[in-house]
């Protein structure tokens, strides 16, 4: 083997060709499906990537970045010429997606040789996914309303404009309220809820009780419980509806347990060592019961697009909602700090139980922060579990009051199993 052969350079050229092939395959399939004229397919995209790689290599060899710049200009001119030709032959199919993808591939080919192969591969995969998921992305945009866009913009403002200007220190004599930390945790909860909301809007609530329960649980398991309990009365005559709705409710509850674990992982990951035991037990038992009810549904192929009441979820982020949660969270943190000072230990369990009557996020984040600052992991885990069990019990009561007899019996039985699994796991810790 000649000494001048640089295996790293060979590897980078190979990666560049694979990047071109990855994006080119998707474009080639599009051409074959629609039988249309296009700037290029797999071979053209591989050549674009190779052109970028060769230009980058030559720029390094001759110490002149203008070689790469000139190549990029030449590729762009070729793409523009192809776009003009395509627009003349098919005026109704004018679009810049393929042309921009070609320029991106050329840049990624150059990035591999410039020493950023890992980043280039990741961006190539992202580019290919953006091209392939055209219909789902367009469908999601169609389902988003103006208020949803405003809510997303407000979340970005809250994250990148408001958060950096808040003081990162306690502002009260009890060292309980840190504005920066408080607002950061508000953004965390809002982001998790927004992910679930977007998923529901993307998939739609007509996809069935199981999917609606899972996605809706990210936003509000209480909303899922209330909606499905009302449906159980309206559709009481439908065979298998109680099992189907119970399955959706329990899936939403299991997502709530997973969500709590995710919140703790972000705030104070070492707490997961003990937290996973009770919450894995509760989530697993809830999921098993959901699967049992799903399998007992008499008509699994019944159309779910005909419910008398759809799951209604408002966009979870607004400035007023964020401020209300921040105030509630601040109140919980303040009470927790007072209890820690005057009634340590069991006093926190009372606070957790009361907080869990309305919301589990605030007490979860507060106790995770308590574990981080005090090192008292056992108390924090027990308090979070008490809040989650209290919240589950409250939802069970709401379903028992609003739901049909069938959904009431199933939910009561499931709640008993969840409470037992949570209590036993806490005792065994």
pLDDT in tens, 180-205: 888 887 887 777 677 767 766 666 55
Nearest to 199 by CA among 219, 183, 179: 219
Span 390-419, average pLDDT: 92
Whether residue 279 is predicted with pLDDT greater than 60 in this model: the reply is yes
Any residues with CB less than 8 A from the CB of 35 and at least 6 apart, and which? Answer: none
pLDDT at 2: 47
Instruction: Please state, in angstroms and rounded to a whole number, the distance separating the CA atoms of residues 269 and 371.
Output: 10
Tokens representing 345? Answer: 């230990």
State the pLDDT confidence band at 154, using cuts at 50, 70 and 90: confident
Whether residue 148 is predicted with pLDDT greater than 80 in this model: the reply is no
Sign of the CA dihedral 93, 94, 99, 101?
negative
Poorest-pLDDT segment among 171-180, 251-260, 293-302, 326-335: 293-302
State the pLDDT confidence band at 109, using cuts at 50, 70 and 90: very high
Other Cβ atoms less than 10 A from the Cβ of 428: the count is: 9
Whether residue 249 is predicted with pLDDT greater than 50 in this model: the reply is yes
Instruction: Please state, in angstroms and rounded to a whole number, the distance separating the CA atoms of residues 37 and 200.
Output: 37
Whether residue 305 is predicted with pLDDT greater than 50 in this model: the reply is no
Residue, of 161 and 137, whose pLDDT is higher: 161
Residue, of 247 and 82, whose pLDDT is higher: 247
Q: pLDDT tens across 325-343, in order? A: 788 878 887 887 778 777 7
Instruction: Please state, in angstroms and rounded to a whole number, the distance separating the CA atoms of residues 268 and 172.
Output: 23
Tokens representing 235? Answer: 């559709």
Whether residue 1 is predicted with pLDDT greater than 80 in this model: the reply is no
pLDDT at 200: 64
Whether residue 175 is predicted with pLDDT greater than 90 in this model: the reply is no
Nearest to 364 by CA among 281, 275, 427: 275
Span 167-177, average pLDDT: 79
């Amino acid at each position: 083997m000649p000494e001048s052969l640089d295996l790293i350079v060979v590897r980078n050229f190979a990666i560049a060709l694979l990047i071109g092939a990855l994006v080119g395959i998707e474009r080639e399939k599009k051409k074959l499906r629609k039988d249309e004229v296009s700037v290029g397919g797999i071979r053209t995209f591989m050549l674009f990537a190779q052109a970028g790689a060769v230009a980058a290599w030559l720029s390094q060899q001759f110490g002149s970045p203008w070689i790469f710049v000139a190549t990029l200009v030449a590729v762009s001119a070729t793409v523009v010429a192809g776009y003009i030709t395509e627009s003349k032959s098919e005026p109704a199919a004018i679009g810049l997606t393929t042309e921009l993808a070609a320029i991106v591939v050329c840049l990624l080919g150059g990035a591999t040789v410039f020493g950023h192969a890992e980043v280039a591969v990741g961006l190539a995969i992202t580019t290919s996914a953006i091209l392939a998921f055209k219909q789902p992305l367009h469908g999601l945009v169609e389902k988003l309303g103006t208020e949803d866009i405003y809510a997303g913009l407000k979340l970005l403002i809250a994250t990148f404009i408001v958060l950096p200007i808040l003081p990162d220190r306690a502002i009260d004599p009890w060292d309980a309220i840190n504005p920066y930390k408080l607002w950061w945790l508000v953004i965390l909860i809002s982001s998790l809820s927004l992910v679930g909301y977007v998923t529901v809007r993307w998939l739609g609530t007509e996809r069935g009780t199981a999917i609606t329960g899972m996605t809706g649980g990210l936003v509000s398991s209480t909303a899922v419980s209330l909606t499905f309990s009302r449906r159980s009365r309206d559709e009481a005559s439908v065979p298998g509806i109680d099992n189907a709705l119970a399955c959706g409710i329990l899936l939403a509850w299991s997502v709530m347990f997973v969500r709590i674990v995710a919140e703790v992982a972000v705030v104070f990951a070492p707490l997961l060592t003990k937290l996973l035991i009770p919450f894995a037990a509760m989530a697993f038992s809830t999921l098993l019961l959901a699967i049992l009810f799903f399998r007992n549904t008499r008509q699994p192929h019944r159309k779910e697009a005909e419910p008398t009441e759809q799951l209604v979820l408002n966009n979870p982020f607004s400035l007023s909602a964020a401020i209300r949660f921040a105030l509630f969270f601040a109140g919980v943190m303040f009470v927790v700090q007072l209890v820690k000072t005057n009634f340590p230990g069991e006093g926190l369990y009372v606070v957790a139980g009361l907080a869990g009557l309305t919301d589990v996020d605030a007490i979860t984040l507060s106790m995770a922060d308590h574990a981080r600052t005090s090192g008292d992991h056992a108390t924090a885990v027990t308090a979070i579990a008490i809040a989650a069990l209290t919240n589950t019990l409250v939802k069970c009561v709401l379903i028992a009051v609003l739901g049909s007899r069938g959904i009431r019996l199933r939910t009561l039985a499931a709640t008993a199993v969840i409470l037992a699994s949570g209590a036993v796991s806490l005792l065994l810790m």
